[in-house]
Amino acid sequence: MFDFFSARRPSTLAQEAMIATSHPLSTAAGLDILSAGGNAVDAAIAAVAVQCVVEPHMTGIGGDCFAIYAPKGGKIKALNGSGRAPAAATLEALKAAGLGTEIPQTSPHAVTIPGSVSAWCRLHADHGSLPLDRLFARAIHYAENGYPVTPRVAMDWAACAELVSGDPHAAALFLPDGVAPKAGQRHAQPLLGTRLREIAAKGVAGFYEGETAAKMVAHLKALGGLHSEEDFHKGAHQAHWVEPISTRYAGYDVLECPPNGQGLAALLILRILSKFDMGETLSEADRIHLHAEAVKLAYHHRDALIGDPAACPDITETLLSDQVVDKLASRIDMARAAPPALWDEPPHKDTVYLCVVDRDGNAISFINSLFHGFGSTRLDPATGVLFQSRGASFRLIKGHPNAIGPGKLPMHTIIPGMLCKDGAAVMPFGVMGGQYQAAGHAALLSGLLDRGMELQAAMDAPRSFAEGDILQIEPGISESVRNDLAARGHKLAVQTSPIGGSQAIRICENTGFLIGGSDTRKDGMALGF
């Protein structure tokens, strides 16, 4: 029975349709579209457009997008809406620009050609039912007339203020009076409303071609970028459908987008955990330890081997093979935290997620991101477009699968997920939180499938994340568990802000009812009818 004195909330139940997002205005916008007869794709586009306005630190039309779409009774497919590097972005060119082995977040070279608008328009053209101007109506209204800043958005915004202040145009828009808006204050982005009107009227051409594209290119060039109008013209068609990758876990199929995303890392973590008994008899310290060790192994391989799919052929089949998984699982010592190592020892020198299920049973898992908080922080004053920083994922190491190159896709952290059984979708799900996302997918699914937790409870459970040689833990993890983990050699760091966020909608296999959850670490909610 749910503990109504816990200060938590139960999962949301609905019968026909549901949407779950990290912002109440976004959830309301999607629910409005579902109520008006729109489908899951329509609702997702409407919701994310609102989030581009009301969560400007997390997402925007200058960002990237991935989705997994499961039409009722049809073939499940994934959409890669990530942006490519400019054609002139060679390793030699960036070295000549004075860069070392990494690309800084605020560098113009961190800006790949935004993929979000291309993805939205591809989704809409192939599966949408209502016109874009209808889907963008609420987002345009909030952009032009203002919206109230919510508590979690205000907290994250303030944390990014110093960085944003480094770009005068971003500072003018996002730091009114020199400071980040507080919760309850009004904020507006009129130029973003104009851009959404253009996209609604002209589709991809309204963003990637003509005067708007020319202005964006001119601004990026003025910053020292290598972008061209031709790069943006090609960007109009860069979103493309791909085959999802999957693994079996606890009797279900877990689907992820293939590389260049890190969904493969999520599947590898699950494959490693499947070699252990993750049920309720496992102690909390053992559970956190196992998750940490599996995450370190998977992320080590991610960083060494995953990039543009053309640069890492057959990597999915290799890393998910029994040979590799058995080898990695055997390296986990329950009594000791260990440094990760590659399976064959080769040489190796911020985001919004939402999901929707509509009245016809179509489901979509959808994620949109600027990468870092406020992306690159580079805002074009002529168009109001804030550019992402996804190119910071590229390495400047010759021969690395994720080395930058003309037209290459960088390794991506944003990953939508889909849980399936007998070929049918039973739960679109996702976990926000930058690098945490693959680890979060595995933790959420283990809570649901190994421990039988209720959906909202699985989301709200205290989190941990092994990143580098530090094990990040949330304050809800008890002192006795912390002492146990420290005794195994984990270097603990209690977090002062929450680790990630999540949304999911589970389609009840017995009744067909919808069970939704939205992480209490964020401002959002799941709603349906």
Residues with a catalytic annotation lie at: 351
**Which residue from 353, 291, 335 is spatially nearest to 26, judged by alpha carbons?**
353
CA dist 299 → 149, 436, 477 (Å)? 35, 10, 23
Asked whether 416 and 266 are in contact (CB, 8 A), the reply is no
CA dist 355 → 90, 136, 430, 479, 483 (Å)? 37, 17, 8, 35, 38
Asked whether 181 and 150 are in contact (CB, 8 A), the reply is no
Structure tokens at 472: 């990040």
* Conformation bin of residue 250: beta by default, left when phi > 0, alpha when psi is -120 to 50: left
Asked whether 375 and 63 are in contact (CB, 8 A), the reply is yes
Looking at the DSSP bridge assignments, the partners of residue 235 are: none
Cα(437)–Cα(279) distance, rounded to whole angstroms? 22
425 half-sphere exposure, CB direction, 13 A CA radius: 32
Burial of 341 (0-12, 13-18, 19+ CB in 10 A): middle
| Residue 475, number of CB atoms within 10 A of its CB | 10
Residues 6+ apart with CB under 8 A from 98: none
Structure tokens at 80: 């890669």
Structure tokens at 344: 């064959």
